[in-house]
């Protein structure tokens, strides 16, 4: 019983306590980057402990309206999980925003006769089913009754030529682990993507049905640790265009606190990024990058996946330094069998200053939105208040690749489309 007092083995305080999905060294081969999704990858985990799990669908409609639907499953230790369904509709032409967030009852996964990719509650159902259309082999059917005067009915389908992906192969693909022992991690983060999707259906408001015909993306994400311990900030962006048979680009990025890095506590501030680009209606490249705080990123790195905040300025509303513009960059080996080669893309978006914002949808006060019981369990540093900035703007994605994918691609093309992005400041 006293062996632990006399055990000479000690934990090295300088050992890595972060194992990023993007790797300690750059991943340079397409097979290391692209991991095909299995049905089990998209199943609800509904884990215990302190875990936040989401299914999120983002789509742009024909009139540029953005439609977002999200299910949030929040486990908080011994408490019963809290499940929310949220929906946001933003029309950039009128600046009108419709937002609903409801706590649901009688959440079940899987529903009878379905697997755990599907879920339902009294107020909504999201069911994953095979499609009779071989050009769109998988689909989610979304039905939600958000209030007496607001309902949605959508079908979100994935093109056969744009497979879902995670970063890396196998059951552990997509995972970043926190803690020194990856077999018994302190926490984890994982994302699985459908980077380009089609949405059809209706939005019903006050008894009036409005048809939906949109393009967008879907992501299933899990944060297996308290959110204030995972990251100090997040960046997310999705570009979508109907040009050239479908063009899309997505990035998800987080930066750790000082507590987690490759030399233990105090070596944090590590940025982990995963992305992808769809060209000509086909998934062309999956990208990933780890940026260490003690290294300068290579400007001509063969594999690149990064976001840069340009000209940040203090925002008195939030206390954070918000950027005036963003630069997103992707580069990596093509995953297309024919032709092989490299694919690169970049996007710059001007979101304006604090006094004159451009495309700002909302500054989301996170603590005002999350349920009270979760708020009391998350020990945010005194004086800090998490905020999420959301923008939507028209943008141009500059892409290069092989001419057989899109004619003229080898010389570089500017693709016009819509871009939604978020910058989250946690601490």
- 179 neighbors 187 (Cβ within 8 angstroms): yes
Q: How confident is the model at residue 217 (pLDDT cuts 50, 70, 90)?
A: very high
DSSP 356: S
Residue 367, pLDDT score = 79
Average pLDDT over residues 9-36: 90
Cis preceding-peptide flag for 83 (omega within 30 of 0): no
pLDDT score for 7 = 46
Which CA distances in Å does 79 have to 50, 111, 188, 225, 322? Answer: 10, 23, 20, 15, 35
| 21, 176 Cβ separation under 8 angstroms | yes
Would you place residue 323 in the very low, low, confident or very high pLDDT band (cuts 50, 70, 90)? very high
* The pLDDT of residue 78: 67
Residues 415, 243: Cα–Cα separation, whole Å = 7
Position 100 pLDDT exceeds 70: yes
CB within 8 Å of 31: residues ≥ 6 apart: 169
Per-residue pLDDT averaged across 102-128, rounded?
97
pLDDT, tens digit, 9 for 90 and up, residues 45-72:
999 888 999 999 999 999 999 999 999 9
Residues 26-52 have a mean pLDDT of 94
**What pLDDT score does 5 carry?**
41
Residues 254-293 as b/e (b if ≥16 CB within 10 A, e otherwise) read: bbbbebbbbbbeebbbbbbbbbbbbbbbbbbbbbbbbbbe
The pLDDT score that the predictor gives to residue 1 is 41
Kindly indicate the confidence band of residue 116, based on its pLDDT and cuts at 50, 70 and 90. Answer: very high
255 vs 93: CA distance, rounded Å:
34
Per residue in 153-192, pLDDT tens? 999 999 999 999 999 999 999 999 999 999 999 999 999 9
pLDDT in tens, 371-416: 554 554 455 554 568 999 999 999 999 999 999 999 999 999 999 9
What is this structure's pTM?
0.94
What is the pLDDT at residue 270? 98
Report the mean per-residue pLDDT for the chain.
93
Average pLDDT value for residue range 27-55: 94
Q: Tell me, what's the pLDDT at 318?
A: 94
The percent helix, strand, coil of the chain (3-state, each to 5) is 5, 50, 40
Residue 229 — φ and ψ, nearest 5°? -105, -15
By C-alpha distance, which of 275, 238, 252 is closest to 417? 238
Which of the four pLDDT bands, split at 50, 70 and 90, describes residue 427? confident
126 has a pLDDT exceeding 70? yes
Instruction: Determine the average pLDDT of the residues in 335-350.
Output: 91
Collapsed DSSP state (helix, strand, coil) of residue 17 = coil
C-beta separation of 334 from 342 below 8 A: yes
The pLDDT of residue 337 is 76
CA dihedral 342→158→271→221, nearest 10 degrees, is -160
Name 210's bridge partners: 203
pLDDT level of residue 303 (50, 70, 90 thresholds): very high
Per-residue pLDDT at 10: 67
Q: Which range among 10-19, 124-133, 238-247 shows the weakest confidence by mean pLDDT?
A: 10-19
């Amino acid at each position: 019983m006293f062996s632990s007092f006399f055990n000479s083995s000690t934990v090295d305080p300088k050992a890595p306590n972060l194992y990023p999905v993007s790797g300690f060294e750059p991943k340079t081969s397409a097979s290391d980057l692209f991991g095909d999704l299995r049905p089990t990858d998209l199943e609800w985990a509904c884990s215990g402990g302190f875990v936040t799990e989401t299914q999120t669908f983002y789509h742009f409609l024909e009139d540029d309206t953005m439609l977002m639907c999200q299910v949030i499953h929040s486990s908080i230790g011994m408490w019963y999980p809290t499940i929310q369904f949220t929906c946001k509709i933003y029309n950039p032409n009128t600046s009108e925003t419709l937002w609903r967030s409801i706590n649901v009852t009688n959440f079940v996964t899987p529903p009878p006769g379905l697997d755990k990719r599907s879920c339902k509650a009294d107020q909504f159902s999201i069911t994953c089913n095979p499609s009779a259309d071989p050009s769109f082999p998988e689909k989610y059917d979304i039905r939600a009754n958000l209030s007496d005067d607001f309902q949605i009915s959508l079908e979100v389908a994935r093109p056969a030529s744009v497979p879902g992906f995670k970063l890396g192969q196998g059951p552990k693909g997509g995972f970043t682990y926190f803690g020194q022992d990856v077999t018994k991690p302190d926490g984890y983060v994982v994302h699985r993507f459908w980077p380009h999707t089609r949405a059809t259906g209706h939005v019903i408001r006050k008894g009036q049905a409005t048809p939906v015909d949109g393009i967008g993306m879907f992501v299933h994400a899990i944060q297996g640790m308290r959110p204030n311990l995972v990251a100090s900030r997040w960046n997310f962006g999705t570009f979508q265009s109907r040009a050239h048979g479908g063009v899309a680009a997505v990035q998800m990025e987080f930066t750790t606190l000082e507590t987690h890095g490759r030399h233990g506590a105090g070596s944090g501030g590590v940025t982990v990024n995963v992305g992808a680009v769809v060209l000509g209606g086909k998934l062309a490249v999956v990208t990933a990058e780890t940026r260490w705080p003690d290294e300068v990123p290579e400007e001509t790195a063969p594999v690149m996946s990064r976001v840069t905040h340009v000209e940040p300025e203090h925002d008195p509303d939030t206390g954070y330094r918000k950027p005036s513009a963003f630069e997103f960059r992707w580069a990596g080996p093509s995953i297309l069998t024919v032709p092989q080669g490299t694919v690169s893309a970049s996007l710059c978006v001007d979101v304006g200053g604090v006094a004159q914002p451009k495309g700002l949808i909302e500054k989301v006060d996170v603590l005002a939105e999350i349920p009270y019981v979760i708020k009391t369990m998350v020990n945010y540093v005194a004086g800090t208040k998490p905020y999420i900035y959301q923008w939507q703007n028209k943008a141009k994605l500059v892409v290069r690749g092989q001419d057989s994918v899109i004619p003229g691609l080898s010389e570089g093309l500017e693709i016009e489309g819509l871009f939604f992005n978020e910058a989250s400041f946690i601490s």
